[in-house]
A and B are shown apart, each in its own frame.
Chain A
């Protein structure tokens, strides 16, 4: 036990360097947003808070991120559960699909989506719907990996059979057994999807643009006119993401039988 409590200069140095690397840009942005020449001022924040377009863009992005998380969950969770139970040979194919969003650049994807969805049976280019669906696609790897790891960390097969032998159907098993036991994976996947959807710019700008302004597009518009306000917006968006993450982690930790849920599990 002595070893664990011993001070390790090497380990601490790594931690300090990591903290510096992560915090310096954030603190610099905060500092920039609060200074005007030599003086500290909150004028950038005041201007922003008086701008109704900010709240509208923020609302759009929060709605978009929430719908993306829900859509991803509804698509990914039952699919992976089913594949794990009944069709393990389909797993490599699914993995290939989840890598596609990384391979195709956002601009190429946006052009492809515009081509397909400008006309035809689903003319949804320029509407928020196309953003939800394309975000689901782009963030698929995050949700897929998180839920797949979680499903593999429990004995999905035997737990399902145990539930079946007690009279549970597929939906009941998912609801009472599988979901509560993979909650850490669902939470971490949801957080990743939520924050990536909240921060996505390229697709939002190309597919919908000013027709339905999202928060990152708003930041970009403001940034062109006033860098200080853009910095203030970056700080605000960090705080929002952070608050949402804390809320989700806190609520997941209250689930019975789950100890120390963290992003790392």
Chain B
């Protein structure tokens, strides 16, 4: 049986529905991320699990016990906040030991456990510092250690990396994942940063307007989005207006070119649709082929702008009236496209997603 079960959770603030029929089962030791734009209900759901908000309907089960109405301080759930929330009047060591002190552990046991936690986050030397004497990244590691010290059943992280700069964010992200796997603690991580979600989760719950859009592994979420929202929220996506020309053969008209998408289309001929293509699926090719091949589509486009993003070079192109982006890996031997040049693009026929209205399920 699942370790954490969220059954039809509901929460409204006034007339606004913040969480709508939220259903999720989390296995022991799993790291699940709630991902979505601000206001999608991800933090509210987390706060309901923590016990800081009451829910209007539904149940929460943890370790086969219902905790829906248990006060927050009796749930044995550790929490890490975006603003660190370290107690300013206590040293790093006192902060970490606070939960154990409340659990009435004996001082030698508290001391031992605090030292274990300090070595886990590699901050032994800062034990006697006060929160205002340490950096943001260090403060968040202390907050993590403080949440883990009383050995909670569940760890909740509410956008823990949002207040940190990019470099520290990446290293701390890896550290959180490593500590989580080392301790095998069931964890829920809330973020609006898709890169964060994709890189550290076992599974991602994509949320929008209080509802779950899709639950899946990072690979599934990125490569097989099941709703328009997920497709457009995760990664960069070229949204290209097109028209169905032959639904049975899966052929569409894209800026004057006939291209093919995988399988027959459910839309009827002449329906206006949107073809969604990831920039990394597009390639600039040298071949003379035109139109269609068995696996690839070929189209003409004009280079507008080339920008170097580091490991990736992003090329903006125009395809008839439509603007689109293409990503290519950077290397020393790469010949950069020249703005103004005509190039030939190819993309696999199964790489495009057909979108109709927003927030509908992809067929």
Do A162 and B81 have beta carbons less than 8 Å apart?
Answer: yes
Residues of chain B contacted by A247 (CB below 8 angstroms) = none
Do A256 and B90 have beta carbons less than 8 Å apart?
Answer: yes
Do A167 and B103 have beta carbons less than 8 Å apart?
Answer: yes
Residues of chain B contacted by A258 (CB below 8 angstroms) = 89
Question: Does A46 count as interface, using CB distance less than 8 angstroms?
Answer: no
Bound-complex Cα distance A258 to B75 (A): 32
Question: Does A106 count as interface, using CB distance less than 8 angstroms?
Answer: no
Question: Does B261 count as interface, using CB distance less than 8 angstroms?
Answer: no
Residues of chain A contacted by B99 (CB below 8 angstroms) = 166-167
Question: Does B41 count as interface, using CB distance less than 8 angstroms?
Answer: no
Do A256 and B89 have beta carbons less than 8 Å apart?
Answer: yes
Question: Does B36 count as interface, using CB distance less than 8 angstroms?
Answer: no
**Given known contacts A158-B85, A164-B51, A167-B150, is B90 in contact with A257 (CB within 8 Å)?**
yes
**At the interface with chain B, which of A174-182, A222-230, A232-240?**
A174-182
Question: Does B130 count as interface, using CB distance less than 8 angstroms?
Answer: yes
Question: Does B353 count as interface, using CB distance less than 8 angstroms?
Answer: no
Question: Does A154 count as interface, using CB distance less than 8 angstroms?
Answer: yes
Do A162 and B90 have beta carbons less than 8 Å apart?
Answer: no
Do B72 and A161 have beta carbons less than 8 Å apart?
Answer: yes
Residues of chain A contacted by B103 (CB below 8 angstroms) = 167
B100 to chain A, nearest CB (A): 9
**Given known contacts A166-B98, A166-B146, A167-B99, is B77 in contact with A180 (CB within 8 Å)?**
no
**Which of B71, B75, B88, B146 interacts with A181 by CB under 8 Å?**
B88
Question: Does B106 count as interface, using CB distance less than 8 angstroms?
Answer: no
Bound-complex Cα distance A164 to B78 (A): 10
Question: Does B299 count as interface, using CB distance less than 8 angstroms?
Answer: no
Do B73 and A164 have beta carbons less than 8 Å apart?
Answer: yes
Do B102 and A165 have beta carbons less than 8 Å apart?
Answer: no
A170 to chain B, nearest CB (A): 9
Question: Does A52 count as interface, using CB distance less than 8 angstroms?
Answer: no
B interface: dominant SS? loop
Taken residue by residue from 290 to 303, chain B's Cβ proximity to chain A (1 for < 8 Å, 0 otherwise) reads as 00000000000000
Query: What total of chain B residues lie within 8 Å of the partner, measured CB to CB?
Result: 31
B83 to chain A, nearest CB (A): 6
Question: Does A172 count as interface, using CB distance less than 8 angstroms?
Answer: yes
Do B89 and A165 have beta carbons less than 8 Å apart?
Answer: no
Question: Does B230 count as interface, using CB distance less than 8 angstroms?
Answer: no
Do A177 and B79 have beta carbons less than 8 Å apart?
Answer: no
Do B102 and A168 have beta carbons less than 8 Å apart?
Answer: yes
**Which of A159, A169, A181 interacts with B73 by CB under 8 Å?**
A169
Bound-complex Cα distance A174 to B103 (A): 17
Question: Does B357 count as interface, using CB distance less than 8 angstroms?
Answer: no
- Please provide the chain B residues from 65 to 111 with a CB less than 8 Å away from any CB of chain A in the complex: 71-79, 81, 83, 85-91, 98-99, 102-103
Question: Does A38 count as interface, using CB distance less than 8 angstroms?
Answer: no
A215 to chain B, nearest CB (A): 36
Do B89 and A181 have beta carbons less than 8 Å apart?
Answer: yes
**Which of A165, A176, A255 interacts with B72 by CB under 8 Å?**
A165
Do B91 and A155 have beta carbons less than 8 Å apart?
Answer: no
Do B146 and A154 have beta carbons less than 8 Å apart?
Answer: no
Do B91 and A165 have beta carbons less than 8 Å apart?
Answer: no
Residues of chain A contacted by B77 (CB below 8 angstroms) = 165
Do B98 and A176 have beta carbons less than 8 Å apart?
Answer: yes
- Please provide the chain A residues from 215 to 265 with a CB less than 8 Å away from any CB of chain B in the complex: 255-258
A77 to chain B, nearest CB (A): 16
A253 to chain B, nearest CB (A): 13
Bound-complex Cα distance A13 to B139 (A): 45
Residues of chain A contacted by B88 (CB below 8 angstroms) = 154, 181, 257
**Given known contacts A158-B81, A158-B83, A172-B102, is B52 in contact with A164 (CB within 8 Å)?**
yes
Do A161 and B52 have beta carbons less than 8 Å apart?
Answer: yes
Bound-complex Cα distance A256 to B128 (A): 11
A257 to chain B, nearest CB (A): 4
Do B85 and A168 have beta carbons less than 8 Å apart?
Answer: no
- Please provide the chain B residues from 255 to 275 with a CB less than 8 Å away from any CB of chain A in the complex: none
**Given known contacts A165-B147, A167-B74, A167-B150, is B98 in contact with A159 (CB within 8 Å)?**
no
Shortest 3 CB-CB contacts between residues of A and residues of B? A166-B99, A180-B89, A162-B85
Q: List 24 A-B contacts (CB under 8 A).
A: A154-B88, A155-B85, A162-B79, A162-B143, A163-B73, A164-B51, A165-B50, A165-B79, A166-B99, A167-B76, A167-B99, A167-B102, A167-B103, A168-B73, A169-B71, A176-B98, A177-B87, A177-B89, A180-B89, A256-B89, A256-B90, A257-B88, A257-B89, A258-B89
* Residue ranges of B at the interface with A (Cβ–Cβ < 8 Å): 50-52, 71-79, 81, 83, 85-91, 98-99, 102-103, 130, 143, 146-147, 150, 156
Known: A168-B102, A256-B91. 9 other contacts (CB 8 A): A158-B83, A161-B81, A162-B79, A162-B85, A165-B72, A165-B77, A166-B99, A167-B76, A169-B73
